[in-house]
Amino acid sequence: MADWHIGVIGGSGLYAPGVLEDMQEVPVASAFGEPSGPVTMGRIGAVRFTFIARHGPHHHLLPGKVNYRANIDVLKRCGVTDVLAMSAIGSLQEDLVTGSFVAVEQFIDRTAGRAASFFDSGIVAHVPLADPVCPRLSGLVADAARAAGATVHQGGTYVAIEGPQFSTRAESLLYRSWGAQVIGMTAMPEARLAREAELPYALLGMVTDYDCWRDPGADVDVAEILAVVAANADMARGTLQAIAGLLPAERPPSPIDTVLDRAIVTPQGGWTREATARLDAIAARWLPSVSQ
C-alpha cells in the first residue's frame, strides 16, 4: 500500500489553493522543457498535495502553448500518485448551469499541434485510453465537491478545442449534436499524458458559461467567465480540503499504476540512451532492468 499524493493542476483563477499546510514553492526541471512554473508542495491534514498552475502564475500561457508534457513530468518527479485537474468549462446542455461543477468522464479531442505523447522518439508505447478518467478518483472528487457545497454533475463528455478563440456558433451546435456536455481547451493532451505517466486522472470542471449555442444574439464573455470563477473559487478550494478527508487511509493500487506493462512495444534492448534519460521519471519502474 502506498500513501496518497495528489497532484493538482489548476485552471483559470484557481492557482493558489490557499489551504495547504507546510507550503513551499519548489522549482522542478523537466526533460521535456519548461513547465508552466514552479510547483507548490504541502499537505492538507495527512495527505500530501503538489500544485502547479496550468497557465503559469500570471495566466500568461495560451492553452496551445502550455507544456503539458513538462507539467505531468514534474508532477511525476515530485512523487505524485494521482492527478486532479480543475478548470473552467463551457456548458453545452441546458441543465448544466453556470456555477455548477462537472466531474468529467469522457473526452473528444479537437486540439491540433500539441505534443501528445512522451513516447515520441526512441521508444514506442500505446497506452489504452478507452476510459481516460479514473473512476475511483473522479467519484471521490465529486463527493468532495458536494461536501464543499457545490452542485455536481457526475459524468459527461468534454470537447477539447484548440482555442484560444471560443467556438463559432456552428461549431457549438455541432458539439451539442454529438452529445457532448461541456467544452474546454486544456484537458487534452493532459489526460493522455497522465495515462502514459501511470497517473490516475480526474477532471473537475466549473461551468462558467453556455458557450454560444444557447442565445443567437450572445457570445462568450471573458469578464463574465472570470466573475463566475471568482464567485466559486472558495468551493473549489473547499473541494481540496474535503477530498483530503474522504481518501482512504491507505491508497489501494490502481490498474493505471502499471499501465505501461502492457503498452511499451520497443524491446528494452532497443531503447536509446537519449529516450531512457528523457523518460527517467515517466518510465522509472522500467529503468532498473534497462540499465542492467
- HSE at residue 273, side-chain half, CA atoms within 13 A, is 0
Provide the terminal-to-terminal Cα distance of the chain, rounded to the nearest Å.
27
Diameter over CA atoms, the chain: 65
From 45, 86, 51, select the one nearest 205 (Cα to Cα).
86
d(CA 193, CA 127): 10
Annotated active-site residue in 73, 82, 109, 211 = 211
Q: Is 209 a catalytic residue?
A: yes
> Which residue among the candidates 209, 221, 234, 280 is catalytic per the annotation?
209
Q: What are φ and ψ of residue 74, in 5° steps?
A: -70, -35
DSSP 143: H
- Cβ neighbourhood burial of 58 (10 Å; 0-12, 13-18, 19+): exposed
Let me know if 84 is exposed, middle or buried by CB neighbors in 10 A (0-12, 13-18, 19+).
buried
User: Which residues belong to the active site?
Assistant: 209, 211
